[in-house]
Every structure is written in C-alpha cells, then in structure tokens.
Structure 1
Amino acid sequence: MALYDPFWPNHIPRTITPPASSVWHNLAVSAARFPDKAALVFFGTETSYAELAAQVERLAAYLHGLGVRRGDRVIVFMQNCPQLVAAHYAILRANAVVVPVNPMNLAHELQHYIEDSGARVALSTGDLAPQLAKASDALPAGQRLEHLIISQFTDAFDPAVQGEDAPPPAWQDWLCRDYPPPAIAGAQLHRYRDALACTAAAPEHVVGQEDLAVLPYTSGTTGLPKGCMHLHRSINYNAVASTLWGYHSMQTVTLSVVPMFHITGMVVVMHGGIYLGATQILMPRWDRDLAGRLISKWRVTSWTNIPTMVIDLLASPNFASYDLTSLRHIGGGGAAMPQAVAQRLLEQYGLRYVEGYGLTETAAPSHSNPTDRPKQQCLGIPLIGVDARIIDPDTLAELSPGEQGEIIVRGPQVFEGYWKHPEATARAFIDFEGERFFRTGDLGRTDDEGYFFITDRLKRMINASGFKIWPAEVEALMFRHPAIQEACVIAARDDYRGETVKAVVVLRPGHEDTDAEQIIAWCRENMAVYKTPRIVEFVQALPKSGSGKVMWRLLQEKEPA
C-alpha cells in the first residue's frame, strides 16, 4: 500500500463509483430534491434550483432551435454570474459541449478558440460581446460564429440592491449598464432574455458518461492553446470526489469567486455545488470588502480561493468588521500559501488552509491535503482513486522519497487527450507498470509520509497569482508589434503575485526610440491583462544555442530571485 495510507481521512472512501449519467443530471436531481432552495445568489437575488432547472430547459430548447446538435461545441465567454451556470448546463442538456473561455482574453486571442473548436454558437455578457464579434469578423467566412447570445448582468439581479449585497461603487457602471449589441458579420444576435422565453421543448437528452462534455483550453511550451477533452465521466468524478474530500453536504454555502472558466471553479465549485444541492454565493470578480460582507451575511461555510485573495482580505482596513466564524473549509491551489498567512488563519480562526494540486488535464485536483491533517506549502496526497508517482523524467524509473523527479498521474478524472492534437496527446502520456499515466511536467518529491511537494517545473510556465502563463503564447503575440524583432518571456519575482511576466526584447533597426511603457501599453491592448509583461528589458541580442534556439533558461537563471 502507498505510504500515505496511515494518514488517509477515516471517513473518506479510497475509491468511489461515479455517476453513470451526464453532468446535467446532477442539476435535474438537485432540482427535484430541493426545488425551493437557493442554488445561486447574485448580489442578493436568489435563483432556486427549480428556477435554474427551468431556465436551463428553455435555454437548451433555444440552442437546439439554433441548430446545436450532439457533440457541437458552444463557447461560454463570461465572468461568474447565474447566466454562466445556466449556459453550462443548457449546453450539456442540449447534448453539446461547453467551451469555457477566459473572459480576460481579447479578440486576437479569441480567434483561436472559435477557429480551433469549430464553435458556431457563443454565449456572452454584453461587456465582452464586442471582443467575440471582433474575433469572429477577423476569421474566414466559413469559420465565423453564426449565432451570439448576449446577456446583460441585470438579467440576473436588481441593480437597485442596497446594503451588504450591493456591488462595489466602482462596479456600478460595469454591471448595471445596458450594453448595445455589437456589429458582427454573418451572425445573428440574440438576447438572453428572449432565449429564456423560449416555449419549445428541449431535445431528448441522449448523452452519457462517455460523451464529450467540456473542452477547456490550456497552453503549453510551444504553439497555441490546446483543448483538453473531458468526458462527462471525468468531470463528474472530480465533482463528486472533491465534495467528499472537503466534507461538504447539501447544507454547504460556498463563496464562488474563483473563475468558473477555470477548471477548479468549474468542476470543484460550480459542478460540485450543483451535485450536492449546495448554495453558491457568486462573485463576478474579486473584491476583498465585498467578499468579507458576503461571507458574513450569507454565513459562508466553504471558500475555495487562490492565496492572494486571502492575503488581500486579511489586509483590508475593514477586516475586523467581518465575521468569518461560519467558515468550516478554506483552501485552494495555483500558488503556495505563505506560511505566515496560513498560521494566522489557524491561530485566529482555527482554520487549516487546505492546499491542493491539479491541472486542466486532470479536471482540477489530482492531489489535496487531508482536511484534518494538512501540511503547509504542500500539494497533499493523491485524491480518491488517484495513483501518482515521482519518476526520473529521462529514465522513467520511479524515485524514492526525497528525490526530485516528474510527477505522473493516473486516475478517472484524467482527460482523454488534446483536441485535434494526437501527437501532443502521445507525448503527454507514458506507459508505466502497464498503465497509462499523464506526465504533468511538474517536478516534485514526496516526504516519508507520502505527501507530495512541488519543487520546480519541466514545462516553461509562469505562475502569477494562480494564473498559468505560457511564455511561448505571449511571445507569439508580442512578435506582432512592429518594433519588436525578438522577444523572450521569463518569470520575475513579485511580492504579491509570486511571479510576474518579464519580456527581454530586441528592437528592430529604426525603432530604437521605443520604450518599455509603449510596449507594455500595446500588450495591454492585444492580450489578456494577466499575460501582459510588467517588466520589459531591452538587449542587443538574445542568447542562442548552436542550432539557433533562444536559450530562455539561461535568461531565467540570471533573473534575480
């Protein structure tokens, strides 16, 4: 048996039987069990399980009327809001596949998601719809969107709300404005409220656990983002496993602020909550004082987050006025929780911060700390039903505790492969002891008790406040700048984000007067803000190998810690 067996939580099973049904069935079951219970709360407006299920039925029927059929990919491009949840479940109810897209992406980036997924239908909020329209217009006629369903935030809440549930004043214009529809070539625009008024019957639900459910995109060391093929089976597995691991029940109240386009927010928070029949308090963006008020008012019991959110909340000048005593579970991943902050949570609130580890390819957690016995700055132990090892990345031999090697993972939540990229899929898996293991590309070690710790990464990646940034993607966008001849993107230390983006740039002849501020400003207009370099360093030439490849690792090693 594995080393971590003595520390396995007593009341958590070693293996589970996941639902044989689709992810949509979880909503249908919870709506039948708890029809009048609040499924979602958004700025004080409650949506019951019965109301949510009815919205999903009508929206699924509308999608079917637009031509959406089994296996079709449909883009969801929104911040956290009730419309996002309804869109996910309606797409699944219509037998189609959800393509969740980061709402911070701009038109240049969005073109790839439309083109690569083959999506012809998208759902968006009014603030983001112009970017989708611009992206679609830039594509050849046969690859553009054909339908765009647009919601206003006020479709889901009363803009006159006051008190603890009210949006921050700085958000009023963003959330309460009625955005005009954008012009979009060759596509029909639809109002979300009209879709919810659909009176047609939804199609027969025919997909099951072996059908494709979600196609979230992840970038890599080279090239553009690749879609991770997750079946209903793999999404359901981690939705169930994560709720068991965190001791959650139908009485759980979550602060749902981690982005639901991201695999953790989607699977652990959204799908896990719907599966349980829990109540989710939705936040479209992070705001520390809104979070403090919502935790206090709604008696939030569970908060999945990234550590920078906790650090920010604790630093609020209003922090003493917030009541966190309802919290029973707090944890997250994406970045290590500073030891001092974890200790403060323990000493002041008796809360043990539970860190976990997972990737888009593993439908969020493959590892998590036992809630009753977590270790700080640790990935934890393999989740229910997961087999994880540390191997030598070159020889593929398993290593002993304390030795650094690559983390490999096998389990029911691991994805099927990369959409339309069989070669990348083949490289991502190895045969180990007769089983198919996924190579994470992360370097780690285990201790004598079988807990996993991350030590480095094989893949070239930057981790800024939990956002994974792939330098090759940023470089590809930067090469569009007329003054940039070459660029190499590396990680720089950041006291708040952990790491941030630094670009080492060679300017084209004749553009020597271009300064760092101009390049940063251009990047902000052409890529998601979290990818934008915060630091630009100019050099005469980049170091290169004998074959002409840029030696990025040399630049990274020279970067001061």
Structure 2
Amino acid sequence: MVNHFAYWPKRLSTSLSIPETTLYDNLVVAAKRYPHNEAVYYYGASYTYQQLLEEVDKVAGFLQHTLHVKKGDRVLLYMQNSPQFVISYFAILRANAVVVPINTMNTTEELAFYMTDCSMKHAIVGQELWPRVKPFLHSHLEAAIVGAYSHYLPEKPDFEDLPKEVAMAAIPFNEKGVYTWGNVLQAGCLPKKDEGSPDDLAVLPYTSGTTGLPKGCMHTHRTVQANVIGGYHWINITSNSLSLQTLPLFHVTGMTNSMLVPIYAGASMVIMTRWNREYAKQIIQTNNVTHWVTISTMLIDFLSNKQLLKEDLRSLVNITGGGAPLPEAVGQKLFQLTGIQFLEGYGLSETIAQTHLNPPDHTKLQCLGIPVFDVDARVIDPISLKELGDNEEGEIIVRGPQVFKGYYNRPDETKYSFIELDGKSFFRTGDIGRQDQEGYYFMVDRVKRMINASGFKVWPSEVENTLYKHPAIQQACVIGAPDAHRGETVKAFVILQEEAKGNVTEDDIIEWAKNQMAAYKYPRIVEFRDALPTTSSGKILWRQLQEEETKDEVTY
C-alpha cells in the first residue's frame, strides 16, 4: 500500500488539507486575484474572471428572487459545453442549491426518470434541447431558463464550421415560466447572502446505469474540492495556463478537471461545444493551449489527422485522461509528436473523477496509475472479500476524501456498495483490476463484462489493447458472441484506418491475432464498422453492441 510513494510526483506532499470553503468561493478568489485574466475563450470571444463572476451572481439572483429556488433544491443543468454551462453551474451553487448535470444525449422519456428521482422543479437548458424538456413544464417543472450558445459568440467567430447548436440565433419564448438567457441577465438581480458551507450537497451526478437504473451520487463541496485541489497540484496548472475543454462538462472528468481545476487556478478555458479535431488542432496552435484533459477515443481521432505536425502541438505541457486505456501505439505516437507522456487516470461518478493517476515523471501506458492524495486502494476477491496480493486479479476498492456520501434516496444500495476492511469503510468500484509490485493499478475489466469462452475467462479490454497494436486498426471493441460449442466466443468490432480499407480483410485481422494472444482469447469473429456507438464523453458503448449481438441470436 506504500510502494507507490517511491514514484510520487517530485516536490508534492502525499497528503492535502481540503479548504473549508465552497466551490463558489474558488471562483470568487480567482476573480479577486485575477479579475482581468481570461476565464473563457469561446470561438473567438474572450471573457474575464470579473465578467464571469458578475454573470454568475446575476443568474444566482434570478434563481433566488424570480424562480424562488431555495437551499438544497435540485436544479437540472441540461446543456452542452458553453459559457452558459459554466455560469449556470456556479450560479446554482451560489443560490445554495444542488447542480444535477444530465447527459445531453438523454431523450424526453429518459429525462422523466431524473425529474422524478430527485424531484426537480427548476431547469437551465440549452436552447436546442428545450423541446425535450418542454413536456415537463407545469407538471414536474415550475420554471426554466433557456440559453442560446450564440449569445456568447463574437461578431466574427474564429472557426467557419461552427456546430449548428452554437450558430443558432436566440429564439423568443412566450410560455409562462420560461425565461431566456437575455431575460435573466437584463433583470440584474443580486443574490441573497451566501449561506453555503463545505458539507452542503453541491452536485448530484448520475451513474451511467450500466448495471441497472442510474443512481444519483451525492457529492458535497468538500468531496469535490478534494479532487479539485488534488488535480490542480498533480498537473501543475497555473494562472497563465490555457486548458482545452473537450470532454462534456456534465461528466465528472470534464466537470472536475476541465472546468473546476482551471477556475481554482485562475487559468483560461477554451470551450468546445462539440468535438472537432480540426478546430482542436487550430486552437492548440494559435492560442498556445498548455493543458488538455481528454479520452482515448478522442485522442485517437485527433492523432489520425494526417495534417497534424509536431509544430502544431509545441505549446502542450500536459495531456491527461481516462475512461478507457490508451493503446500503446497511440501513446508512442503522441510522445513522438509532443515529448509528452499521456497521464492516464481512473475514477468514477462516485468519486467525482480521479482516485488514481499516473505520476508525471514515471508513467505507465494502459495503466490506471497510483492512488492519489489520501486515497487508500486495495484489491479484494469479490466473493470472499479477502484482500489479494500483487498481480492477483480482483475487485478494486477505494477509500478517500473524494468518495461520495451515498446514492440519493437509495440507502440499501449505498449500504451494499461499501465494505469494512481493517476497521475502515471502502467503496466497492465493481471494477476488476490488479496492483503490481510498484503499487501501480491496472484495469482488467468490469465485473459484468467478462467473456466465458469454454470455461476460460477472457477480459475484453485485454484483447482490445492487443488489437490496437495492429497498424490497420483505428478503433476496436470486443464483446462476447453466443457460440454453440464454446458457450461464448470472442468477437471484435473494428474501425480500420482509412488507408487500410479495402486492403485488409476480417480474416487478416483474425490470422494476425492468432499470433498475438492465447488461443482462447483471440477473436474468432471480426466485423468491420465505419463507426462505433459512443457516449458523448467518447466511451465506446460496448453494452449496446453486446445487446445487438444477443438480440440477433434470439431472432434467429
């Protein structure tokens, strides 16, 4: 449990005190220290910390005085990355309410669950998403603020191919209880006295629901601050850094590391509403981006750009991410272009992002990293709950200051998710992993994702990591396919590199794989696809592919 300290980042303590302040206080301090620093850069428009704080307070005042939002109320935040998302997030906190950030891919039917689950009466919504929320007006919702992202565009944006949601002009609304972003700012309301405390509930991110219905993870200002302060120190961000914001802010990794960490530092954020590798290349080069938190699928797409040159990326000093292991070949290409080692990390909604990160001076590819500040992590047998030794595969459990306070209105599921070990309470992640002799953690797979091929355990992520070594493969996703003889067999969905299409066959991939891994592991079936289903944060939806495969089998 202490071997990893030998590789701890130089000049950093192994423990951090968490401030007795709120997340909103971080913004106030940044605005006082650096009032004229650029806080947000949005397709050519620049906004300072002083401007950001002024607008946060106006929205908070409107929430309190006009919409009558009270302390502890849950407020829906249903927006894509934008200045309005950042402003709304902090305004809800300033109103002493709770941010409920919901995935913008959710439909009206899916939103109904969240509306009921945490009894939301107020919402702040992106204009393009309003049709999905409108059916809840005057049933669940008492009032809503609707924002057009174009409100923050300059006269001449710095990119011609703007996302349509960004270019869309503001639409007037006549419905009772619906207020436009312009209405809110023009009202000029000032918030009431701030009554926030570090142990107030601050944000309620929902789990993805891969093992059942989504569950709201209760995070206080204190639990979130643990990772904000930790992330700030780990990646060496300063008040003159420029962070590229490409991960969705409703997701805990993007929220914590692409928004809350830069604001704590008083740094600048370049906001991208939708991912576009051409714009990312342009903005890194022209604006001298220093920090980027991303995900492996996004980075793979970015590095697939044949026009990308070493000079384009010279300003970057730190690239961090998680969600899925970065293929070794991609990591090597990134290092050749930038001299930067990709810092992979690991965390969950229940831990508001990271519990593990790779140390900047001693990274390992396809590795979760080491436990971060004040985190105690172990590997246990998921059945007997006995602690396992080095390189033994079992369930990862964690204990730390960023661990949530429980699932909202689900005491039984909260109780089941924790175990006691050595007199301490640990959260059960549901992830299968191992720890090497140096204290680094490696993901094996989700407990539910294992393939049972003729009695042999096959972990899809291990097969995927091997497939990524093939030069023709751009992306891969492995699932279990029904098999009359083996029970299950290994199937790989593959996206080929452009130059390989028409020149490499499915059988070529299978034959190559035979020589790369054990006989029970290599894919017996390969299916080429032009695209794979992903979440808005870039994670491949393996479960959707798995369900499609099972459905097809039942149909026949």
TM-score (norm 1): 0.81
Give the conservation status (yes or no) of the 8 Å contact 1:106–1:131: yes
- Name stretches of at least 5 consecutive residues in structure 2 with no aligned partner: 451-459, 466-476, 480-488, 497-532
1:494 is matched by which residue type in structure 2?
Answer: F
Give the counterpart of 2:159 among 140, 163, 166. Answer: 166
Deviations 1:410-446 (A, max 9, x none): 0000000000001110111111111110000001111
Distance in structure 1 (CA, Å) of the matches to 2:392 and 2:281: 42
Give the counterpart of 2:239 among 250, 255, 264. Answer: 250
Report the Cα offset of residue 222 of structure 1: 4.5
2:302 is matched by which residue type in structure 1?
Answer: L
Partner residue in 2 for 1:81: 82
1:16 is matched by which residue type in structure 2?
Answer: L
Give the conservation status (yes or no) of the 8 Å contact 2:297–2:539: no
Secondary structure, aligned partner of 2:312: coil
Give the conservation status (yes or no) of the 8 Å contact 1:430–1:436: yes
Q: 1:230 to 1:11 in 2, by over 3 A?
A: same
Report the Cα offset of residue 215 of structure 1: 0.4
Give the conservation status (yes or no) of the 8 Å contact 1:252–1:278: yes
Distance in structure 2 (CA, Å) of the matches to 1:211 and 1:248: 27
Deviations 1:465-503 (A, max 9, x none): 9xxx9x9xxxxxxxxxxxxxxxxxx99643359xxxxxx
Give the conservation status (yes or no) of the 8 Å contact 1:133–1:182: no
Q: 1:529 to 1:178 in 2, by over 3 A?
A: farther
Distance in structure 1 (CA, Å) of the matches to 2:264 and 2:7: 27
Give the conservation status (yes or no) of the 8 Å contact 1:292–1:319: yes
Distance in structure 1 (CA, Å) of the matches to 2:491 and 2:409: 33
Give the counterpart of 1:147 among 143, 146, 164. Answer: 143
Deviations 1:290-315 (A, max 9, x none): 00001011100011101122211222
Distance in structure 1 (CA, Å) of the matches to 2:539 and 2:395: 31
Secondary structure, aligned partner of 1:426: helix
Secondary structure, aligned partner of 1:196: helix
Give the counterpart of 2:266 among 269, 272, 277. Answer: 277
Partner residue in 2 for 1:375: 364
Partner residue in 2 for 1:511: none
Give the conservation status (yes or no) of the 8 Å contact 1:267–1:364: yes
Deviations 1:538-561 (A, max 9, x none): 557499xxxxxxxxxxxxxxxxxx
Distance in structure 2 (CA, Å) of the matches to 1:62 and 1:437: 41
Give the conservation status (yes or no) of the 8 Å contact 1:379–1:452: yes
Q: Which structure 2 residues correspond to residues 56-455 of structure 1 after superposition, within 5 A?
A: 56-65=56-65, 66-134=67-135, 136=136, 144-158=140-154, 160-161=156-157, 165-168=158-161, 171=163, 173-178=164-169, 180=171, 188-220=177-209, 222-320=211-309, 323-455=312-444
Deviations 1:83-118 (A, max 9, x none): 000000000001000000111111111111111111
Partner residue in 1 for 2:468: none
Distance in structure 2 (CA, Å) of the matches to 1:383 and 1:234: 14
Report the Cα offset of residue 200 of structure 1: 2.8
1:107 is matched by which residue type in structure 2?
Answer: T
Over the matched positions of the two proteins, sequence identity in percent amounts to 39
Distance in structure 1 (CA, Å) of the matches to 2:404 and 2:309: 43
Q: 1:398 to 1:537 in 2, by over 3 A?
A: closer
1:64 is matched by which residue type in structure 2?
Answer: Q
2:262 is matched by which residue type in structure 1?
Answer: G
Q: RMSD between aligned alpha carbons?
A: 2.8
Give the conservation status (yes or no) of the 8 Å contact 2:303–2:334: no
Q: 1:343 to 1:168 in 2, by over 3 A?
A: same
1:150 is matched by which residue type in structure 2?
Answer: V
Report the Cα offset of residue 397 of structure 1: 1.3
Deviations 1:115-140 (A, max 9, x none): 11111111111111111113x16xxx
Partner residue in 1 for 2:37: 37
2:423 is matched by which residue type in structure 1?
Answer: G
Structure 1 position 495 matched with structure 2 position 484: no
1:154 is matched by which residue type in structure 2?
Answer: S
Secondary structure, aligned partner of 1:4: helix
Report the Cα offset of residue 257 of structure 1: 0.7
2:177 is matched by which residue type in structure 1?
Answer: Q
Partner residue in 1 for 2:11: 11
Distance in structure 2 (CA, Å) of the matches to 1:49 and 1:287: 26
Give the conservation status (yes or no) of the 8 Å contact 2:28–2:53: yes
Distance in structure 2 (CA, Å) of the matches to 1:287 and 1:115: 35
Partner residue in 1 for 2:511: none
1:148 is matched by which residue type in structure 2?
Answer: A
Give the conservation status (yes or no) of the 8 Å contact 1:409–1:440: yes
Report the Cα offset of residue 220 of structure 1: 3.7
Deviations 1:164-185 (A, max 9, x none): x22525x2x432222546787x
Report the Cα offset of residue 219 of structure 1: 3.5
Report the Cα offset of residue 201 of structure 1: 2.4
Report the Cα offset of residue 317 of structure 1: 3.4
Deviations 1:352-372 (A, max 9, x none): 011000000001000000011
1:79 is matched by which residue type in structure 2?
Answer: Q
- Name stretches of at least 5 consecutive residues in structure 1 with no aligned partner: 472-489, 498-522, 544-561
2:125 is matched by which residue type in structure 1?
Answer: S
Give the conservation status (yes or no) of the 8 Å contact 1:358–1:367: yes
Distance in structure 2 (CA, Å) of the matches to 1:297 and 1:458: 44
Deviations 1:198-256 (A, max 9, x none): 23321111111110000011134554211000000011110110111111121211001
Partner residue in 2 for 1:503: none
Distance in structure 2 (CA, Å) of the matches to 1:20 and 1:495: 49
Give the conservation status (yes or no) of the 8 Å contact 2:44–2:156: no
2:142 is matched by which residue type in structure 1?
Answer: E
Give the conservation status (yes or no) of the 8 Å contact 2:166–2:273: no
Partner residue in 1 for 2:529: none
Secondary structure, aligned partner of 2:186: coil
1:343 is matched by which residue type in structure 2?
Answer: Q
Give the conservation status (yes or no) of the 8 Å contact 2:150–2:170: no
Distance in structure 1 (CA, Å) of the matches to 2:539 and 2:238: 37
Give the conservation status (yes or no) of the 8 Å contact 2:357–2:369: yes
Report the Cα offset of residue 530 of structure 1: 7.5
Partner residue in 2 for 1:515: none
Give the conservation status (yes or no) of the 8 Å contact 1:293–1:322: no
Give the total of aligned pairs.
481
2:325 is matched by which residue type in structure 1?
Answer: A
Distance in structure 2 (CA, Å) of the matches to 1:434 and 1:220: 30
1:443 is matched by which residue type in structure 2?
Answer: I
Give the conservation status (yes or no) of the 8 Å contact 1:221–1:460: no
